[in-house]
Structure 1
């Protein structure tokens, strides 16, 4: 029986050099016969299956479009494991344009990169949101066009990319020259591991009591935690200020005026979104909690504040991971602390006396049933703005 073909996905913004890298792989594949697949995400499985059916290839490379999210590609690749398997996800970044792209607040539509489908919700994304999705969900990051930057700039870029995705292998490249063995049939992809690769997520999942020792004075990362709600107006003001040096901030938050629903916050470079993350467990009747899931029950217990039957705080909390360059951690902790309500304001919130400038949060059934998936997605359609 034939072995399932390994599938490598090449992701990256337009003009970063994906095609150049692909051409290099095709020209220097050391005896590996590679099929190239391109197309819309929802057509890729069929295209891959068709290529595999020709029985003349022993590897497949998917060249994604410049705005494709590799996680959506991975989730869409549904085929018989006897035919093919996802082997490696590669993101190509441009060493020279990275800092400019990461600081951009431009939407895809403003850059002529929106799809032709007016109903495509992905068109609402910004350049940096596409870039961070590509960086955080991959196994290898190829830093291309290294000849266009000096050694110091390249070294800083490598440290930034490692902070954003500590799991990914970083490979420097000139004109897309990367050994095929690094990217094709490399056996790097694992959905759970790749999904858990982002630096912010690793920080949230780490032991809160463990000391953080990155060994890098240039890149600072910390998690802000609190068991008191934010004052909506003060938090609104903070998220609309400039955030110099902040590369990534993601997690969830608790507003004093919204004790049933937790908020999600996702910032990357010059763009920031906020919206609903789902219902807190403490806001739901115990009869509505899932049963028979020991792992989930342990997670709820670990997140709980106070006695098990005390719903006053429960799992409600602030938990925001922040990564940046030359960050003043004490400044940011003080800034978030200043957004916490006083005892008097907390009482006022319970009486409906606090102003709340945040947009309303629309919830669907999935949000009610599955709050704590710890994804706190970037796909909410409210509260997007640039710094």
Structure 2
């Protein structure tokens, strides 16, 4: 098999890159180790920056997003019984859009299938070869048979546990990581959201987040020890604890119901440098992880796709290698800014096991400053809605 770009990973970043390249006459093959149903069954955040919205429009995949997505012009930050609102439209000039990552992926699958895009499912033993030459190739196993793709470039969109990052030699690859000493217990419920905008709560009992998927589907999270298991928490225990952590006005109006999904996610900050090696380029979680506070994961993957897609266009259409040569440096400049924001917001809103009374006073002072200072709100809003590409 031959193609111009081999894309490892059939999640939203790999599919988006494939679709954008297709619309400019650049061929690709997507390799996915799972089934399509499995990929669509993964529950992820759904707060989209305008940069991602514009990319989906350019990819021809935004019709359902515009019809069904929810525009959010702000978010609520709470500390104990006190709460205040950050107005994104006033402070940053643009909103965010709430539209589930699963739905983004579904729309991208539909677009690739409608145009005959090549997606190979249930592949294993994926290996990257000759990435530092002008003729890289990828081998894999599918249905018990060994297969090979010869290509010009390889895009590693296969997540934190994928093979792409590990293909970069250890004497070249630098990895930076912080693992947080807690997780998020999240549930999905067929209930109306408690608030039309997201609520981030710093409580003496730990962090909580009230979010939504649509008018009848809600997503809620509470900070929990890493030693907890989802089965340790009954639905009743979860709802009772959530009420204790969010502002009284919302606690009194919270609609509860059976959970239809319950899981615990660990939190980490992670960056790999460089994000390219020869003709191998890393995108999304293959190169970086952010804690979910602020919903930067998918959005940061989208900015990687933006830089790589434009670099490949310049290579094929203009015989210009500037974008290819500078991909890692350009992508990492934005990655570290998003990492900083996610780390700051996580540090601000959570209770840490080794936190002292002084640390808690600093959190409170930071929240008070954010509540009362316009410049602080502008900085927070600009980061939340997404820094420019």
Interval of TM-score (by shorter of Structure 1 and Structure 2): under 0.3
The structure with more helix, counted as a fraction of residues: 2
- TM-score after normalising by structure 2: 0.26
Q: Which has the larger radius of gyration?
A: 1
The structure with more strand, counted as a fraction of residues: 2
- TM-score after normalising by structure 1: 0.27
Which structure ranks higher in relative contact order (CA pairs < 8 Å, sequence separation ≥ 6)?
A: 2
